[in-house]
Chain A
């Protein structure tokens, strides 16, 4: 069975500060890992994905994440937060054979001026 734990239901940063959203996973097979973003009253948009190639993955809007097998982590970072980054972020692990995702509970990112 696969599972995802996102530490912190809410993270607050100031505009221009570093963004760090934490994700730890559990998987019995080599995982595919994803970060999705959800803006209010919208669906999910893919930020980036890890599929067993490079461990440092770059995504859209300046986000990146690093796969660390020894720590079973896939934390999301962005060097400088922007007001438009305020949204809910979901980490997910995939069963590659069936393209089904198991999501974490999400982290709401709040950005203050």
Chain B
């Protein structure tokens, strides 16, 4: 049973560029959440998608946007990259109902902005 998979694993961009990160949830999961983990910090919640809609959003600017596809996979897009966007971006999947709120995480996409 494949867990949460993310791509790419590493990427380097320059300020002002745009980036798209991708996530496939664990089999059977219908909800995808994205987290940003800056160096030396805990993960911070960006947003969550369920039934192809953004269901909740953390304290991130509109430059951060996402999408969920009918097969439950998801993308995170960041426009007008800033140096401070350099971080590990983690995708997590879960079930909308039940499972005690447990999230399953991928290994992340490490973004470096120069």
For residue A1, give the distance in angstroms from its CB to the closest CB of chain B. Answer: 11
Chain B residues 96-114 with CB under 8 Å of chain A are: 96, 99-108, 110
- Of A43-51, A65-73, A79-87, the one touching chain B: A43-51
Chain A, residue nearest B110 (CB): A41
Q: Is the CB of A95 within 8 A of B101?
A: yes
Q: Is the CB of A99 within 8 A of B42?
A: no
| CB within 8 Å for A32 and B43 given contacts A43-B108, A44-B90 | no
For residue B42, give the distance in angstroms from its CB to the closest CB of chain A. Answer: 4
A to B contact number (C-beta, < 8 Å): 72
The size of the chain B interface, using a CB distance under 8 A, is 30
In the assembled complex, which residues on chain A have CB atoms less than 8 Å from the CB atom of B42?
A: 4, 90, 92, 103-106
Q: Is the CB of A102 within 8 A of B45?
A: yes
Q: Is the CB of B45 within 8 A of A101?
A: yes
Complex interface bits, B31-48 against A, C-beta within 8 A gives 1, otherwise 0:
101010000111111001
| CB within 8 Å for A96 and B102 given contacts A43-B108, A103-B42 | no
14 further contact pairs, Cβ within 8 A, besides A44-B105, A99-B102, A103-B44? A4-B42, A36-B105, A43-B106, A46-B102, A46-B104, A49-B100, A49-B101, A90-B42, A98-B48, A99-B99, A100-B48, A100-B56, A101-B101, A106-B42
Residues of B within 8 A of A (CB): 4, 31, 33, 35, 40-45, 48, 55-56, 58, 90, 92, 94-96, 99-108, 110
